[in-house]
Amino acid sequence: MRVGFIGLGNLGYRLANNLVMSNVETFIYDLKRDLGKELEEKGAVWMDSPQRVAESADICITCLPSPQAVSIVLEGSDGLLKGLGPEKLWIEMSTTDSEEVIRLGRLAKGRGAKVVEAPVSGGCHRASTGNISILVGGDRDAFEVALPILKIIGRKIIHVGEIGKASVLKVVTNFLASTHLVAIGEALMVCKRSGLDLGKAFKGIQASSGNSFVHETESQVILSGSYNVNFTMDLVCKDVGLFQNLVERLGIKADLSPLITEIFKEGRDIFGDKSWSTKIVKRLEDACKENLRAEGFPSELIDKESKAVGVEL
């Protein structure tokens, strides 16, 4: 199949690279022309607009930073919708608003195309190796068409139900990850001020009931001092904001969600939109005039597992 990929940021580039390196005929587009250069050198074909991507490909994938960006790519004057039609499939891999993906999905289906949403989870290091997890929403027949491509991009693939459901679940997972990150900063600071060796504290938490995926990954780049998770503060603010929107829409009297949203807004104000999301812990370090450092931790996360063939769970 010919695949089009729109959105070559920190995550999108890695997902598209898995297709190119698997010898899938891949057409690419991004607002920033330079982001496609390395993929072109590997065999991808640059197109001049989302519409041209859709006209050239059987399957079109979008991986974009916000619901607004997705809307522009689809509904713009040279947007993806104009190139969609029968026998084509749109896979939306952005972290986005569930109601917006339902709305845009209807427009794509109105052109005769199939649609699935397929947001990913697991971090850029797992996106690089094709071991990232994928949550999928959409009709089963569209899912079956998407599955061979999703197996190349990711490892654990879960069809969670109709379109919109995967976006809800993705926002839930990102809210949990963000909450864990704030909690990790406070936990490590207690360890630091109690005189614990932070390297041993890391292992102790890892071996305990307090462990989490976020601790096993993001704590490492906090302890190294790089904070580099290839995920920026503006994106986490968007994600926790989407979760808070769901909380309000569903009439839930949540305690943590408003607090986490406010904490990350403050972190963005302090460190800037494009600072790493893990710098939310530096907010606490600065307030306490302490640094959370230990020897032997990497400056960037690397997935050491070899690529496994993707499977539906």
Mean pLDDT, residues 210-214 = 97
CATH number for the domain that contains residue 13:
3.40.50.720
The pLDDT tens digits for 230-246 are: 999 999 999 999 999 99
Number of domains present in the structure of the chain: 2
Name the band, by pLDDT with cuts 50, 70 and 90, for residue 201.
very high
Q: Are residues 121 and 174 in the same domain?
A: no
Q: Are residues 133 and 20 in the same domain?
A: yes
Last-in-domain residue among 129, 145, 163: 163
Mean pLDDT, residues 284-296 = 98
The pLDDT tens digits for 72-98 are: 999 999 999 999 999 999 999 999 999
- 33 within a domain of the structure (yes/no): yes
Last-in-domain residue among 141, 163, 185: 163
Q: Are residues 118 and 152 in the same domain?
A: yes
- 313 within a domain of the structure (yes/no): no
| Spatial contact of 149 and 91, defined as CB atoms under 8 Å apart | yes
pLDDT at 308 over 90: no
- 95 within a domain of the structure (yes/no): yes
Res 296: pLDDT: 97
- 199 within a domain of the structure (yes/no): yes
Name the band, by pLDDT with cuts 50, 70 and 90, for residue 45.
very high
Calculate helix-pair angle for 165-193, 213-224, nearest 10 degrees: 50
Res 283: pLDDT: 97
CATH number for the domain that contains residue 225:
1.10.1040.10
- 47 within a domain of the structure (yes/no): yes
Q: Are residues 8 and 139 in the same domain?
A: yes
Res 307: pLDDT: 87
Calculate helix-pair angle for 233-249, 256-271, nearest 10 degrees: 160
- 306 within a domain of the structure (yes/no): no
Name the band, by pLDDT with cuts 50, 70 and 90, for residue 100.
very high
Q: Are residues 94 and 199 in the same domain?
A: no
| Spatial contact of 84 and 111, defined as CB atoms under 8 Å apart | yes
In which domain, by residue range, is 158 found? 3-163
- 302 within a domain of the structure (yes/no): no
pLDDT at 194 over 90: yes
**Among 298, 297, 235, residue whose Cα is nearest residue 268:** 235
- φ/ψ of 136, rounded to 5, equals -125, 135
Q: Are residues 202 and 279 in the same domain?
A: yes
For tokens 């807004």, the residue is: 265
Q: Are residues 35 and 143 in the same domain?
A: yes
Q: Are residues 119 and 248 in the same domain?
A: no
Mean pLDDT, residues 159-175 = 98
Contacts of 227 (CB under 8 A, 6+ apart): 221, 275, 276, 278, 279, 281, 282
**Among 39, 9, 306, 1, residue whose Cα is nearest residue 155:** 306
- 99 within a domain of the structure (yes/no): yes
Q: Are residues 133 and 196 in the same domain?
A: no
- φ/ψ of 120, rounded to 5, equals -110, 160
Q: Are residues 128 and 176 in the same domain?
A: no
Q: Are residues 156 and 195 in the same domain?
A: no
Calculate helix-pair angle for 233-249, 165-193, nearest 10 degrees: 120
Structure-block tokens of residue 29 = 């587009």
Strand partners, 6: 29, 62
| Spatial contact of 108 and 81, defined as CB atoms under 8 Å apart | yes
- φ/ψ of 32, rounded to 5, equals -95, 105
Last-in-domain residue among 145, 163, 181: 163
What single letter denotes the amino acid at residue 176? L
Q: Are residues 12 and 123 in the same domain?
A: yes
Calculate helix-pair angle for 256-271, 165-193, nearest 10 degrees: 70
* Dihedral of alpha carbons 235, 238, 240, 246, sign: negative
